[in-house]
Amino acid sequence: MTMHESGEMYLETILVLSRRQSAVRSIDVAEEMGFSKPSVSRAVNKLKDGGFLTVAGDGALTLTEKGRAVAEKIYERHTVLTALLMALGVDEANAAADACKMEHDISDETFSVIRNHADRFLKK
């Protein structure tokens, strides 16, 4: 299964929610993302079929190792890009929105260089 931006967003949202609450269900994802329950159900089924998450009998969503790797990668990109943009003077709301757009399209090489520069720039 090729991971599309929407799939990455779902995985990232599940990761973030799992850090805030003990169990994450499709309804939680729908509320967090502002999507309909049927849309989330379709996405969850695709992600489950792709081996990115499991769904327990009670509806709890759990990222697999494969799903967690994707979610952590996207979340790291989001946090680093947001922090860097804010350090450059962009307000928090715009920085987060722009980081969300950038995090899915940037190459691994480019992000690695940006992260290294951000680490040095933000530590000053």
Q: What is the structure's pLDDT at 36? A: 93
Per-residue pLDDT of 70-95, as tens digits, reads 999 999 999 999 999 999 999 999 99
Residue with the bigger pLDDT between 1 and 26: it is 26
Give the list of residues 6+ apart from residue 16 with CB closer than 8 angstroms, or none. 32, 75
Instruction: Determine the pLDDT at residue 1.
Output: 44
Is the Cβ–Cβ distance between 53 and 59 less than 8 Å? no
- Close Cβ partners of 20 (under 8 Å, ≥ 6 residues apart): none
Q: Tokens in use for 65?
A: 């190792």
pLDDT digits (tens, 9 = 90+) for 10-59: 999 999 999 999 999 999 999 999 999 999 999 999 999 999 999 999 99
Write out pLDDT tens, residues 104-118. 889 999 999 999 988
Spatial neighbors of 41 by CB under 8 A, at least 6 apart, are 26
Domains of the chain: 5-69 (1.10.10.10), 73-123 (1.10.60.10)
